Amino acid sequence: MAHGVTLISSLRSTTQDHWSEASSWLGFTTLGGLVPIWGQIILLMLFSRPFSIFDLLNHGEFVLYSSAFVAPALYLVIKDFRETKFVRRQLFVLTAGFVLFVSALVYAGLVAVLNFSGQLATLQHVINESFLLWVSLLMLPFSVLYAFLVTVLDNQRSDPNIRAEVEDNQKELEKQFDKLGGGQ
């Protein structure tokens, strides 16, 4: 990719094949990777058991799944970093690092509370359920979207749409030419 390539221009230079391939990845990953969640919901409904959304995330499941989506996407961002460019690599690495850190922190806190709750029943009251719900319900969809976007951009990087890149380069050259007063 040329110098000055933005995230938007990279996305504009993607093809339908890039998005289609990433969508297939997304379908297999979310349906297959989240089977424990779908399975739990189906079984609870089958056995006419009441459940709430908190039952699906009170042990940190969603933050674990967030890490499971972000970590392999981070690999796509940093692979071949000396040979190929990845648009806004630092931003994607920083974002992944933040998600992984928050996931680890939340999960470690929950594990600590759950491990000590047998000895200290009052420790259960330490968990802020609304905060856990909020963090979990934000992190999982964000992580899925992050991984999907990284997959699209990695597809574009490994199979670039040359025609769109030439058009973008032509437009950029025209802008630079106009700035220099050549278009007057």
Which pLDDT value is given to residue 120? 45
> What DSSP designation does 31 have?
H
Q: Is the dihedral of CA 14, 16, 19, 25 positive or negative?
A: negative
pLDDT over 70 at 1, yes or no: no
Q: Is residue 184 part of a domain?
A: no
Which pLDDT value is given to residue 105? 94
**Range 84-104 average pLDDT:** 92
Q: Is residue 179 part of a domain?
A: no
Tokens of 88: 């806004």
* Amino acid (one-letter) located at 142: F
Q: Is residue 166 part of a domain?
A: no
Q: How confident is the model over 10-59, as pLDDT tens digits? A: 788 778 888 888 888 888 888 888 888 888 888 888 988 887 777 777 77
Q: Which residues contact 17 (CB under 8 A, 6 or more apart)?
A: 155, 159
Which pLDDT value is given to residue 2? 44
Q: Is residue 6 part of a domain?
A: no
Range of the domain at 113: 14-157
Which pLDDT value is given to residue 48? 87
Q: How confident is the model over 117-175, as pLDDT tens digits? A: 655 444 456 777 788 889 999 999 999 999 999 999 888 887 765 666 677 778 888 88
Q: Is residue 18 part of a domain?
A: yes
User: 182: pLDDT confidence band, cut at 50, 70 and 90?
Assistant: low
| Domain tally, the chain | 1
Q: Is residue 153 part of a domain?
A: yes
Q: Is residue 3 part of a domain?
A: no
